[in-house]
Amino acid sequence: MSDDTRDTVEELLRRMAEGDHDRTAELFAEPIDWRLDWPAEGHPAVPWIRPRSSRADVADHFRSLEAHHVPELNGTSVTWILVDGAHAVVLGEIAQTVRDGGAAYTSPFALHLTVEDGLVTRYHIYEDSLTVARALSAQA
């Protein structure tokens, strides 16, 4: 099972990097257990922070991220993928540039994924939400 989990996670990361949001969303189960490390009310400068439960929601999430950032300046990197059965933890650093205003930011992240039958059933990401909010707030 660990090999299946690793294969699915690596394919997910590949599709995310390619920016193919619909193909990325195809790797998610419905409903998805989705959590971003943000306050429940989100932040007005960060519109992609909201509950998600379907593949269409997942594709919308990644489209919204892209709409607010310069994809060519994305320097997000993965340093570790740790797999234990159906669970995987991806560690790395988000490096983005805000489209409006050009504010650049970096944040370490941890992504907890669960894979069942080749689909991602859990997507919980933990990042420095204050750094992201400040960068997006600077665009105003």
In which band, very low, low, confident or very high, does the pLDDT at 1 lie, cut at 50, 70 and 90? low
**pLDDT tens-digit map of 74-104:** 999 999 999 999 999 999 999 999 999 899 9
Note if the pTM is more than 0.85: yes
Q: What percent of the chain has pLDDT over 70?
A: 98
37 pLDDT above the threshold of 90: no
Report the range of poorest mean pLDDT among 43-47, 50-54, 80-84, 88-92.
Answer: 43-47
Read off the pLDDT of residues 96-127 as tens digits, 9 standing for 90 and up. 999 998 999 999 999 999 999 999 999 999 99
Question: Token digits for 102?
Answer: 């050009």
DSSP state of 35: E
Domains of the chain: 2-137 (3.10.450.50)
Q: Which residue has the higher pLDDT, 114 or 2?
A: 114
DSSP secondary structure string for all residues of 44-110? TTBTT-S---SHHHHHHHHHHHHHTB-GGG---EEEEEEEETTEEEEEEEEEEEBTTT--EEEEEEE
**Per-residue confidence at 33, pLDDT binned at 50, 70, 90?**
very high
